[in-house]
Amino acid sequence: MPDFWKEHYQTGKGKVVRGVYGINIDKQMGQENFDYLIADPYQEQVIPEGFVLETIPEFEWAVFPCVGAMPRALQDANVKIFTEWLPALKDYEFAAGYCVEYYDDPTKYLKGTLDENYYCEIWIPIKKR
């Protein structure tokens, strides 16, 4: 994913879509391949050529704050979520093949996304068993 983000900005797409969200979509759940979108909230404008509009279904979300330099802090949090937190759930389970990453504005941090205080979140859709 880090290479995809790098390419997004190097090709100028970051001027059109800043990248408030990174969205993993695996509708079949458990497939080897999945879609990954760099996204912004939809503001009812014309969708620029080369971009798509994807509607994320409504879910109950477990939200995990993540603080630290990217991409390491996010990768570490993902490992803990999927190897520790999700397997330990008794009343809830993973609801669907969507995971959302929220990214704070990197210009608010001295070292941008490499700052040790950089903030993001991981959102996991859950449902009662």
Residue 31 pLDDT level (bands cut at 50, 70, 90): low
Q: What's the whole-model pTM score?
A: 0.88
Cα–Cα distances in angstroms (integers) from residue 43 to residues 10, 40, 49, 84, 110, in the given order: 24, 9, 16, 37, 29
77-90 average pLDDT score:
92
**pLDDT tens track for 33-51:** 788 999 999 887 788 888 8
Please name every residue paired with 53 in a beta bridge, in sequence order, or none if there are none: none
Half-sphere exposure for 84 (CA within 13 Å, toward CB): 6
